[in-house]
Amino acid sequence: MNSSLNAARRSRELAEVRDLVVDVLVVGLGATGAGAALDAASRGLSVAAIDAHDLAFGTSRWSSKMIHGGLRYLARGQVGVAYESAVERGVLLGRTAPHLVGAEPYLLPLVPAVSRRQAALAMTGYRLGDGLRAAARTPRRLLPGPSRIPADRALALAAPLDRRGLRGALLSWDGRLTDDARLVVALARTAAALGARVLTRCRALELTGGGASVRDELTGDSFVIRARTVVNATGVWAAGLHPDVRIRPSRGTHLVLRARTLPGLTAGLHVPIPGENNRFALVLPQPDGRVYVGLTDEPVDGPVPDVPQAPEEDVAFLLGVLNSVLEAPLRREDVAGTYAGLRPLLAGEGRTADLSRRHALLISRDGVVTVVGGKLTTYRRMAEDAVDRAVSLGGLDAGPSRTARLPLVGATRADRGARDRLTGRYGSEADAVRALMAREPWLAEPGPTGVTGAELVWAVRHEGALDVEDLLDRRTRIGLVPEDREAALPAARAALAY
């Protein structure tokens, strides 16, 4: 079956799904839900997967885009979580999404505030992380080991660092996504290619073990999707559909800087947070030239908003930490955009920064499987566990999960050094996007962050984008800088009308 998602397919499948009883209904199309839809469809099960908004509308698009090896979990003694992360990182890098996930270098600059003891401790951590890589059988070719580099090399990789008193840097490597929202789109399309009905703008109003009452958010129509099993993958919103789930959301804020703000930054940075032990802010250069700076971890009470906002105190905190290692400190005006996301952590005791990132399955009395917690890196394992449980609860006829060996749409093994921008975003589909660019001049014209009209049209035809927000805020990330978003609106409207 075709992997293309678009308005016509949505209408057709929305009509079909009313007359069916599917094997698995997945609610929520973030990384976890899209992963569950793929897991179930690839076992030969019939699947409907719905989201109240769009693919990657929730937390999955607000991440740091890191595919973690799990080092921080190791530091807290959570060996199982750390190992699971390292294994999943290897799966993405080596097999399922080598076009979307690559190795990224990070420097921990040895500025005067970092003591020799702290540096030695950090290096021990990086070596342990490299041990995890080896244990997970990810080859060094995909993820190099750590080393200490002298100050001149550190400055060659990260020119904005303050050179006064710089003793060098610790260089380490971890996985990094081209874009988290693109991972979700690739998962949903791969599931669709295997027959899953992927339906955005469909809100579950109520779940039972036998399906859901659903509202089409475009028309207001209500209907029922009947299912043999139901997986609730609504992340930080899961408690709204399952009374026994207790989530303690934790806000993570990032700053968005333009490429010109930190020229000469080609590696990420781990910046020690003053006064904290073994906690770092992250400086994350992106393939589109922008730089993200994160990340806070603040518990949030009260109703869960659709789109969380970054408060000014988070912005000031992150700027302060970043400036502690820069030669020329940045000002508030240098911050071109901000974003915040809510981690769907399971409620427990203690600070949210210390709550386990392990995922959990919760089964309601009538058999709804809720899968929460975890992180982007381990979405595949979360999905596998949820579908395993649904299969056994529903007595479904299905074999074991196949997703550890199933390449996502576009997967290609292009050498990282040889990858151009389009290959890093579209993998083996890059040539088809190029062919679209050749049709008319405006389709080849790069807009903000280099995105062309052809990419917007591609998103409408194949990636399920239904409106301007889908195009600018999720299929591309132009919208992270409000000024750029404004500038790209005419192209987005033209793509929808094309």
Ligand X SMILES: Cc1cc2nc3c(=O)[nH]c(=O)nc-3n(C[C@H](O)[C@H](O)[C@H](O)COP(=O)(O)OP(=O)(O)OC[C@H]3O[C@@H](n4cnc5c(N)ncnc54)[C@H](O)[C@@H]3O)c2cc1C
Residue 133 Cβ, how far from ligand X at the closest point, in Å? 16
60 or 452: whose CB is closer to ligand X? Answer: 60
33 or 447: whose CB is closer to ligand X? Answer: 33
The residue count for the chain: 498
Residue 222 Cβ, how far from ligand X at the closest point, in Å? 13
64 or 96: whose CB is closer to ligand X? Answer: 64
Pairing outcome for strands 169-177 and 66-67: antiparallel
Residue 375 within binding range of ligand X, rule CB under 6 A: yes
Residues 178-217 that bind ligand X (CB under 6 A): 203-204
CA distances from 158 to 122, 265, 270, 282, 463 (A): 19, 4, 12, 13, 35
CA distances from 444 to 456, 466, 498 (A): 11, 21, 14
89, 228 contact by CB (below 8 A): no
Collapsing DSSP to helix, strand or coil, 49 comes out as strand
225 or 454: whose CB is closer to ligand X? Answer: 225
Residue 344 within binding range of ligand X, rule CB under 6 A: yes
> How many residues interact with ligand X (rule CB under 6 A)?
39
65 or 380: whose CB is closer to ligand X? Answer: 65
Q: DSSP letter at 113?
A: T
CA distances from 20 to 308, 381, 403 (A): 36, 28, 25
Name the one range near ligand X by CB under 6 A: 228-236, 311-319, 348-356, 387-395: 228-236
Q: Which of 22, 24, 25, 27 binds ligand X (CB under 6 A)?
A: 27
Phi–psi pair at 352, nearest 5 degrees:
-65, -30
Alpha helix stretches (DSSP H) within 136-206 = 151-157, 180-193
Residue 66 within binding range of ligand X, rule CB under 6 A: yes
Establish whether the linkage from the previous residue to 376 is cis, with ω within 30° of 0: no
3-class DSSP string for 281-293: EEEEECCCCCEEE
122 or 233: whose CB is closer to ligand X? Answer: 233
One-letter amino acid for residue 419 of the chain: R
Q: Which of 43, 68, 72, 419 binds ligand X (CB under 6 A)?
A: 68
CA distances from 457 to 39, 170, 282, 461 (A): 28, 43, 34, 6
Q: Which of 3, 42, 46, 59 binds ligand X (CB under 6 A)?
A: 59
52 or 411: whose CB is closer to ligand X? Answer: 52
290, 260 contact by CB (below 8 A): no
| String marking each residue 295-324 x if it binds ligand X according to CB under 6 A | x-----------------------------
56, 29 contact by CB (below 8 A): yes
Name the one range near ligand X by CB under 6 A: 46-54, 106-114, 272-280, 441-449: 46-54
Residue 236 within binding range of ligand X, rule CB under 6 A: yes
374 or 394: whose CB is closer to ligand X? Answer: 374
| String marking each residue 243-272 x if it binds ligand X according to CB under 6 A | ---------x--------------------
Name the one range near ligand X by CB under 6 A: 25-33, 116-124, 264-272, 411-419: 25-33
Phi–psi pair at 27, nearest 5 degrees:
-110, 120
Q: Which residues pair with 204 in a beta bridge?
A: 214
Q: CA torsion sign, 276 to 278 to 283 to 284?
A: negative
Name the one range near ligand X by CB under 6 A: 14-22, 45-53, 118-126, 271-279: 45-53
- Cα–Cα distance between 237 and 305 in angstroms, integer? 9
Q: Which of 105, 337, 374, 448 binds ligand X (CB under 6 A)?
A: 374
| String marking each residue 276-295 x if it binds ligand X according to CB under 6 A | -------------------x
Q: Interface with ligand X by CB under 6 A: which residues?
A: 27-33, 50-53, 57-60, 62-66, 68, 203-204, 233-237, 241, 252, 295, 341-344, 374-377
